[in-house]
Amino acid sequence: MHILLLNEYFPPDTSATAKCAAQVADALAVNHRVTVLAGRPSYDPDELHPPYLLRREVRGNLAIERVGSTAYPRFQMRRRVSNYLSYLALAIPRALSLSSDVVLAMTDPPIEGIAGALVARLSGRPFVYNVRDMYPDMAVGGSIVRPGSFTARWEAMHRWALRRAARVIVLGEDMRDRIVAKGVDPARVVVSRDGIDIPATVPSPDNSVARKIRGDFRFALVHAGNIGFYGAWETLISAVRMLESEGVGLVFIGEGAMKPQVAAMAEGCRAIRFLPFRPASEVPLVLSSGDMHVITVKRGLEGVVVPSKVYPTLAAGRPILGVAPEECDVVRMIRRTGCGAAANPDDPSSVADAVRGVLHDSKRLQDMARRARELSFSYDRVRQLDIFRETIEDAVRG
């Protein structure tokens, strides 16, 4: 079959959705013809494109078409919106002119799913919606926009797109629950997670990178990744202040929109450190560095945000500290398998107690690490991409 994939970001864009879109496109192109309709690279690309109206590249069964959208850096919201709107203005007509057996839309820009549903409706093709970020729920929950008539109309259009989809592919059970609650037939909502390549072995925690990250902390909590609006940061920082005298430290590795605010919350606390991202080649060493790795989602965003870093953490055999509501996938995993400890995202004492529960219990910590590694094999990338491909094929057959 011929699959049309709509997503503004695609490598050399470096966003998480660009990388995921590339993985999906490559997996689908093994058995099918795939056309990706993207924009000019603008998300921290390692290759800049000069202006053009349309650019096409073909690699076997995979064709990458880029419309000539604006390519302003992503850091200024107004210019980023210009990238969104110019992409949609050019991509929708181009998508209508391309013949395909199915329209597959992701969530960049945030109304890509609505655009995909419109293209499918106008051209009489089946529509599959891969929800990677839940909008407008994310924009409202993250205080990016205020609830009002605009977000109400956006939500109504989003629900129309969800109902229009032959299949909705989501990242976790919590996201599936949220979408079903919007009135979508549960039989049409499929979970396909961000799978990982499971390493045959994991590095020893006694390596130079891990030692540098841990510093002199006797027990190191590590948060490696984006410091975004979705985390229960205030609760986490308050808990670490409670634990400071017990030798517990928290190391943030990475950047993000909330980093300045989180750093301000942590001011004066010697048990909290901020380090930049390490090179990609050192990621396994970073993952080996923590006694526990923090995965956090603040209340209200369960099912809206599904942190993908949980899977490489499991594959590294590291216990997880899930500071998130009970409905979140990460907490469900912890409760079901014992791969870590869970805590209330609104209660610093709950977080501190969860850490104290393993602080002097090395055997329990080792059991958590073993269970984390065992669980990771359930999220093998090939298996998850097979689910994705089979879902697309089922939608077309249906």
Which token pair is 170?
Answer: 């989501």
Across 40-68, b (16+ Cβ under 10 Å) vs e yields bbbbebeeeeeeeeeeeeeeebbbbbbbb
Lowest mean pLDDT among 203-212, 317-326, 372-381, 385-394: 203-212
* Radius of gyration for the chain, computed over Cα atoms and rounded to the nearest angstrom: 21
Count other Cβ atoms within 10 Å, centred on residue 122: 11
Answer whether 2-195+380-397 and 208-379 agree in fold: yes
pLDDT value at residue 51: 94
Task: Note the CATH number of domain 208-379.
Answer: 3.40.50.2000
Percent of the chain past pLDDT 90, that is, above it, reads 76
Over residues 335-361, the mean pLDDT reads 96
Q: Given pLDDT bands bounded at 50, 70 and 90, which one contains residue 104? A: very high
2-195+380-397: CATH topology is Rossmann fold (3.40.50)
Q: Which residues contact 297 (CB under 8 A, 6 or more apart)?
A: 230, 231, 232, 305, 307, 323, 324, 325, 328, 330, 345
**Which residue would you say has higher pLDDT here, 249 or 279?**
249
Q: How far is CA 291 from CA 72, 155, 213, 279, 288, in A?
A: 40, 41, 11, 21, 8
β-strands 272-275, 248-253 pairing: parallel
Over residues 194-216, the mean pLDDT reads 87
Nearest Cα to Cα of residue 267 among 314, 234, 304, 218: 234
Task: Give per-residue pLDDT as tens, 123-166.
Answer: 999 999 999 988 888 888 777 788 899 999 999 999 999 999 99
Q: How far apart are CA 82 and CA 87, in angstroms?
A: 8
Mean pLDDT (the chain, rounded): 93
- Domain residue spans in the chain? 2-195+380-397, 208-379
Q: Which residues contact 308 (CB under 8 A, 6 or more apart)?
A: 16, 171, 193, 194
β-strands 62-67, 54-59 pairing: antiparallel
CB distance 368 to 80 below 8 Å? no
pLDDT value at residue 344: 97
- Identify the bridge partners of residue 292 per DSSP, sorted by sequence position: 221
**Which residue would you say has higher pLDDT here, 246 or 203?**
246
Helix (H) and strand (E) counts in the chain: 15, 14
pLDDT value at residue 76: 81
Count other Cβ atoms within 10 Å, centred on residue 197: 9
Task: Output the pTM of the full model.
Answer: 0.89
Which token pair is 215?
Answer: 């510093």
**Which residue would you say has higher pLDDT here, 95 or 210?**
95
Which residue do the tokens 């450190």 mark? 273
pLDDT value at residue 305: 84
